Amino acid sequence: MSGNTQNWNRRSFMKAGIAGVAAFGPGIQLFGGTANAAAKVVIQYDWLMSNGQIGDVVAVTNGYFQEAGLEVEFSPGGPNSATVPPVVSGSAQLGQFSETPQLYAARASGVPVKILACGFRTGPYALTSKPDKPIRSVADLKGKKIGIQPTARFAMDAVLAKNEIDPADVTILNVGFDKAPLVRGEVDAIGGWITNTQALSVVGDDRVDLLLSDLGLASYANVYFATDEAIETDPETLAKFIGAVAKGWGWAHANPQEAVKKLVATYPEIDLDWELKTIDLVLKLSFDSDTARDGWGTFDPASIESQIALLDQIGQYPNGRPKSADVYTTKVLGLSAAERPKLAAPGA
């Protein structure tokens, strides 16, 4: 399950810092390809491996990386790992952020990285409430106590700004990832990723989940990125990686239960029963009408511009906001177009 919200904003990016380059060590597993023939690719993930990387794992187990001529090493992240330094130093050829605001913050801080593809079309961060005091819309926020992790506080600030709500009308309290404050009634809603279904289960099956995207705060999640230099000098290798992962997601779309079993067989610490209950939600976050038209991994530059503008409005970029054209490239999506399946959300 994902704890990705811990790494969502500029503060957590700056905490990791470029100084973390020296602390980067080798990844925990080596996948795909043959040592004497394949191009070596290391990907640095933002968090522990979870349902958000199910397509990546299928790309391993089904041999898609090997078919693409790649030898791929997964380097999982976690609460004390740094995502950016290995990519900037060249120890990893690409990385994955939990959500787009992290990359915008990196770029605003002078780090030369760009979005290559977006795994989740919709950021999974949501406010969860109980049915006796539900939060189903913007109007329901007023007068409520909202529990938010400190690193995600900026997200609520953005929601309030987007909807022109006076911050004095909402009480925001710092909480951790435990849902106990909501269960005990200390808050009326609590933030977290809706794909973290096992943790949310303590609230009850009748809980109310409201995505921040439904409150006007758009973002993409599981964002693959690389440096400007890597994109300029070797976009073909990056495209082979994204193409293989896209094929993995396409296979998961067609075989969701089997894909979960492959994920859990590779990472036994992941709970099979909970992931079987969650896979449909994961796929709905990964596929929509835009992926049906443009293929898995696509993103909308206009949405990126509006995301950056809103974050700039609430003061996230004290040294100046990044230009939207500097935070993404469509080159890798173009080179991998033939491999990226064009699929809508299951059942759509």
Please determine, for residue 294, whether its predicted confidence score (pLDDT) is greater than 70. Answer: yes
Please determine, for residue 38, whether its predicted confidence score (pLDDT) is greater than 90. Answer: no
Q: Over the stretch 161-181, which tens digit does the pLDDT of each residue have?
A: 999 999 999 999 999 989 999
Measured over the CA atoms of residue 313, residue 319, residue 320 and residue 322, the dihedral's sign is negative
Structural domains of the chain ordered from first start: 4-123+219-335 (3.40.190.10), 125-215 (3.40.190.10)
Helix axes 272-286 and 54-61, enclosed angle (nearest 10): 100
Question: Backbone phi, then psi, for 264, in 5-degree steps?
Answer: -70, -35
The helix or strand, by DSSP H or E, that contains position 52, with its residue range, turns out to be: none
Distance CA 186, CA 131 (A): 15
Q: Over the stretch 151-161, which tens digit does the pLDDT of each residue have?
A: 899 999 999 99
Please determine, for residue 27, whether its predicted confidence score (pLDDT) is greater than 90. Answer: no
Q: Which is more confident, 9 or 141?
A: 141
Please determine, for residue 203, whether its predicted confidence score (pLDDT) is greater than 90. Answer: yes
Dump the DSSP string for 159-208: HHHHTT--GGGSEEEE--S-SHHHHTTS-SEEEEETT-HHHHGGG-TT-E
Predicted confidence at residue 29, as pLDDT, reads 39
Read off the pLDDT of each residue in 237-263 and give the average, rounded to a whole number: 98
273 burial class (0-12, 13-18, 19+ CB within 10 angstroms)? exposed
Q: Which two tokens stand for residue 238?
A: 């990056």
210: three-class secondary structure by DSSP: strand
User: Can you give the pTM of this predicted structure?
Assistant: 0.89
Q: Over the stretch 55-67, which tens digit does the pLDDT of each residue have?
A: 999 999 999 999 9
Mean of all residue pLDDT scores within the chain: 90
Residue with tokens 């898609």: 64
CA dihedral 248, 251, 252, 253 (to 10 degrees): 120
* CB-based contact 5:151 (threshold 8 Å): yes
